[in-house]
Structure 1
Amino acid sequence: MRDIIERLNYHIQEVPIKVKQFSEEEFSEQLLGKWSKKETLGHLCDSATNNHHRFIKIQIEGQPFVIGPYNQNNWVIIQDYQSMQPYEIVDYWTTLNKLIAKIISKIPDEKLLYLCDIGDNKTVTLAELIEDYLRHMEHHLSQIFVTSSL
């Protein structure tokens, strides 16, 4: 988990700096059928919100913990990230991920093996769910930043 926490902390430091390098227009540009960079970062806030709760509940509720899906497109629409100021989304994302890093750092090793039912007759451990959270985040961060000149 140490590597995951280090990577989370790296992103917590770097994302606010990188976002400031975009103009409002660049950060808000919507491509046909796709989220803007702003909405993509908002989606990562929604992912953080959902996973923050999961990482706590998995440790205290029965096993396997059943993970329900959420409609990510509706979350982005209802939150209306497109109309928010970039700093509001960045601050929200940063705060959520600081909390997640703290939670992860305090999970006892034996609880990392707790099982999570992710549907379709599949189970993963809490450790694997945490790894997937970071993998998902980094995938979307690469969409935001790698496709730019940053």
Structure 2
Amino acid sequence: MAFQTIAEELKKLVISWANKLENLPSPTIAERRNSQDRSIRQIVGHMVDSASNNTHRVVHLQYQESPVEYPNYATYRNNDKWIAIQNYKEEDWNVLVNHWKFTHLHFIHVIRNVNKEKLDQQWIADTNQLVSLKDMVEDFPRHFKLHIKEIEELINLK
């Protein structure tokens, strides 16, 4: 999939969902839990972390020697430590939603400007697992939509 297409798809989702998220009632964002025991507030925080980490990976992959060593914050459930340490469950909801929105909009900007000559650069994602810059960017919408689906399910939970 072309990066411009990915960028446009993500931008539409981000703009649409930022408005939905802003208007959610406090009990919905704080009390309902997914299968990982995360609230909507924590899922949104995790998505901020994901976009931020992916931004850094995309940048590193364009100037460092391949394969690039860059920490995988999700290994060993470290992403849960990120959620806890940053205390997303207590962060001001409007600040968090805006951070989510603008972090993703910036990531979209970054992927629109990827040097196409660097698409085969690889990141060491895990032991014996290399991921190309191209594959990383192309997989990002899947991860984004997975978490949007989780949020949607929690919103619709009765």
TM-score by length of structure 2 reads 0.87
Equivalent residue, structure 2, for 1:39 = 42
Q: Note if contact 1:67-1:119 (Cα within 8 Å) is conserved in structure 2.
A: no
TM-score by length of structure 1 reads 0.91
Distance verdict in 2 for CA 1:35–1:147, change over 3 Å: closer
Letter in 2 for 1:90: V
User: How is 1:114-133 mapped onto 2 (pairs within 5 angstroms)?
Assistant: 114-133=121-140
Q: Note if contact 2:31-2:39 (Cα within 8 Å) is conserved in structure 1.
A: yes
User: Following superposition, which runs of at least 4 residues in structure 1 exceed 4 angstroms of deviation?
Assistant: none
Letter in 2 for 1:31: R
Deviation at 1:21, TM superposition (A): 3.4
Distance verdict in 2 for CA 1:17–1:149, change over 3 Å: same
Q: CA RMSD in A?
A: 1.8
**Secondary structure, aligned partner of 1:124:** strand
Deviation at 1:141, TM superposition (A): 1.0
Letter in 2 for 1:2: Q
Separation in structure 1 between the aligned mates of residue 90 and residue 141 of structure 2, nearest angstrom: 26
Question: Structure 1 regions of 5+ residues with no counterpart?
Answer: none
1:57-111 Cα deviation digits (max 9, x unpaired): 1101110112322210110001111011221111111111111111111112221
Question: Structure 2 regions of 5+ residues with no counterpart?
Answer: none
Separation in structure 1 between the aligned mates of residue 84 and residue 61 of structure 2, nearest angstrom: 28
Equivalent residue, structure 2, for 1:64 = 67
The count of residues paired between Structure 1 and Structure 2 equals 150
Q: Note if contact 2:69-2:124 (Cα within 8 Å) is conserved in structure 1.
A: yes
Deviation at 1:27, TM superposition (A): 0.8
Separation in structure 2 between the aligned mates of residue 41 and residue 136 of structure 1, nearest angstrom: 12
